[in-house]
Amino acid sequence: MAIRLYNSLTRRLDELRPLTPGKVTMYHCGPTVYSSPHIGNFRSFLFADVLRRFVEDQGFAVTQVMNVTDVGHLTLDDIEGGEDKMEAASRKTGKTAWEIARQFEDEFHNCQRQLLVRMPHHMPRATDFIAQMGSIIDDLLQKGIAYQVNGNVYFAIAAFPGYGKLSGKVIDELEEGARVAVNEEKRDARDFALWKVDHKHQMQWDAPFRGGARGFPGWHIECSAMSMHYLGRQIDIHTGGEDNMFPHHECEIAQTEAHTGQQFVQIWMHARHLLVNGTKMSKSLGNFYTVQQVLDLGWSGLELRYALIRVQYRQSLNFTMDGLGEARASIARVQGARARLARIAAGKEPAGADDLAAAAARAEAAFTAAMQEDLNVSEALAAVFALVGDSNRAQPTAAAASAALRSFARFEDVLGCFGAEPKAEAAGDVPAALQELLSQRQAAKKAKDFAAADRLRDQIAAAGWKIVDTAQGPRLERA
């Protein structure tokens, strides 16, 4: 069986066949660092993370690059001479654009850690690749595919017949009413900027190409430059949010393929935007959450991660606070089963004679099949929970418990949304004082002094432990 992924370019499920056998190259459009990362951003980044983890699980050596866009995003106003988002944030806060970029880049990395993202191998900043962008621009100018007007360099759409092949946009003339400002400099309204000149701009560089003026790069060129630098002229997978498909990725394809003469990306993947409380997230509707805001509400990174990956990336996940509660309960169910298996495997709880190996193998096969079919996490989770049920029902041998534990470890390795394997807590691991309280409670129960028993339970709970009564007697677990 092979991994099949929905390719936006071909509009069907394509089998992942790496350019170099056994190795997969991935590029992910990363954050634009002018504000705090929100949960919508991380739905996309977590999708990329799960993709990477699963591809690795399937035996491929993955090289992952995610850029940090720290320059160049133009606001609508910019078309009429306004400023870009970095600069706008700078004006509002009094910090320089550079300070803004570093601040939110740090915040982004922190969010990645909190959400247990496996760090990409490279996370380059656009501002560190001005020279590389310049050499592409230079080449496009030499080839006559790009042209310069008043220092601004534009990519000529007319010179690249494939323009529109990703997004399916075959625009002869731009629609009246669409948000397109007329730019007299462009030969074609669809031409996009590779290099911009604006003396008011804080971030400026001497032209990194021949015959240019001091300015700053357009938005799209950075990804071409960094992707090529780290991964070569052709890569296996490129991901981003659905909004990136047009114009960003369309432009990346145009400039990169015009430059190299080769197909840029094999499989383009786009994550659907999430909804919050059933509608698009927006500050004015009051349903806008940064990652930090959710964490500040008392939810763990693990819980948020679960809530954001539980639905397949191409479905519009509806994010709600109830959903976080479900995530918390679901994680607890999985961890409860793993903890019991761990106790049995460690000989801290009596083993039985049941063999869970078949159930574990079944669950793994279902999990793999679900993930292979375009990362169907919802279905994969069903396989995980099937093993939870089988485990809880069984009285496994120690070896069988270990086997099931290994399957859970694999599920965790791919999804990362359950947490580390619970420790096998047993009598010896519990503080003696608490063990004494537990004994007293047992005595109180025997004497039918339930008020005292409940008091003792409250004391134990106050110490951060909870009592679990079982057929083998009571046990203490960390709450």
Q: Report which of 437, 439, 427 is spatially closest to residue 476, judged by C-alpha positions.
A: 427
Stretch that binds RNA, among 124-132, 404-412, 424-432, 446-454 (CB under 7 A): 446-454
Q: Is the peptide bond before 247 cis (omega within 30 degrees of 0)?
A: yes
Site for RNA in 338-397 (CB under 7 A): 370, 373, 376, 378-379, 381-382, 385-386, 388-389, 392-393
Angle in degrees, CA 461, 466, 468, rounded to 5: 145
* Tokens at 121, concatenated: 């191998």
- CB of 448 vs RNA, minimal distance in Å: 7
What is the per-residue binding string for RNA in 83-102, x denoting contact by CB under 7 A? --x-----------------
- CB of 382 vs RNA, minimal distance in Å: 3
Stretch that binds RNA, among 144-152, 205-213, 326-334, 402-410 (CB under 7 A): 326-334
Q: Which is nearer to RNA, 191 or 236 (CB)?
A: 191
Give the residue, chosen from 121, 333, 362, 410, that forms a contact with RNA under the rule CB under 7 A. Answer: 333
Q: Which residues contact 94 (CB under 8 A, 6 or more apart)?
A: none
Rounded to an integer, what distance in angstroms lies between the CA atom of residue 423 and that of residue 433?
Answer: 20
- CB of 347 vs RNA, minimal distance in Å: 20
Rounded to an integer, what distance in angstroms lies between the CA atom of residue 25 and that of residue 4?
Answer: 16
* Tokens at 402, concatenated: 């270990």
Give the residue, chosen from 56, 57, 242, 355, that forms a contact with RNA under the rule CB under 7 A. Answer: 242
82 binds RNA (CB under 7 A): no
- CB of 244 vs RNA, minimal distance in Å: 4
Site for RNA in 287-316 (CB under 7 A): 310-312, 315-316
* Tokens at 348, concatenated: 């801290």
* Tokens at 118, concatenated: 């496996």
Q: Which residues contact 92 (CB under 8 A, 6 or more apart)?
A: none
How many CA within 13 A on the CB side of residue 6? 15
Give the residue, chosen from 161, 178, 432, 464, that forms a contact with RNA under the rule CB under 7 A. Answer: 178
What is the per-residue binding string for RNA in 1-20, x denoting contact by CB under 7 A? --------------------
Q: Which residue has the tokens 């949304």?
A: 417
Give the residue, chosen from 57, 139, 243, 355, that forms a contact with RNA under the rule CB under 7 A. Answer: 243
Q: Which is nearer to RNA, 386 or 399 (CB)?
A: 386
Give the residue, chosen from 2, 15, 143, 168, that forms a contact with RNA under the rule CB under 7 A. Answer: 168
Rounded to an integer, what distance in angstroms lies between the CA atom of residue 347 and that of residue 342?
Answer: 8
Report DSSP letters for 228-268, one per residue: HHHH-S-EEEEEEEGGGIIIIIHHHHHHHHHHHSS--EEEE
240 binds RNA (CB under 7 A): yes
65 binds RNA (CB under 7 A): no
What is the per-residue binding string for RNA in 19-58, x denoting contact by CB under 7 A? ----------x-xx-------xx-xx--------------
280 binds RNA (CB under 7 A): yes
Farthest-apart Cα atoms in the chain, separation: 94
Helical axes 357-372 vs 398-415, angle rounded to 10°: 10
Rounded to an integer, what distance in angstroms lies between the CA atom of residue 190 and that of residue 185?
Answer: 12
What is the per-residue binding string for RNA in 198-237, x denoting contact by CB under 7 A? ---------------------x------------------
Residue spans of alpha helices (H) in 174-313: 221-231, 250-260, 291-296, 301-309
SS3 61: strand
* Tokens at 390, concatenated: 């089988």
- CB of 330 vs RNA, minimal distance in Å: 3
Q: Report which of 53, 120, 15, 50 is spatially closest to residue 313, judged by C-alpha positions.
A: 50
Give the residue, chosen from 9, 221, 228, 245, that forms a contact with RNA under the rule CB under 7 A. Answer: 245
Q: Which is nearer to RNA, 207 or 223 (CB)?
A: 223
76 binds RNA (CB under 7 A): yes
Q: Which is nearer to RNA, 231 or 334 (CB)?
A: 334
177 binds RNA (CB under 7 A): yes
125 binds RNA (CB under 7 A): no
- CB of 210 vs RNA, minimal distance in Å: 25
Q: Which is nearer to RNA, 259 or 457 (CB)?
A: 457
* Tokens at 196, concatenated: 């911009």
Q: Which is nearer to RNA, 68 or 345 (CB)?
A: 68
Q: Which is nearer to RNA, 184 or 261 (CB)?
A: 184
Residues 213-234 as b/e (b if ≥16 CB within 10 A, e otherwise) read: bebbbbbbbbbbbbbbebbebb
Instruction: Enter the DSSP assignment of 343.
Output: H
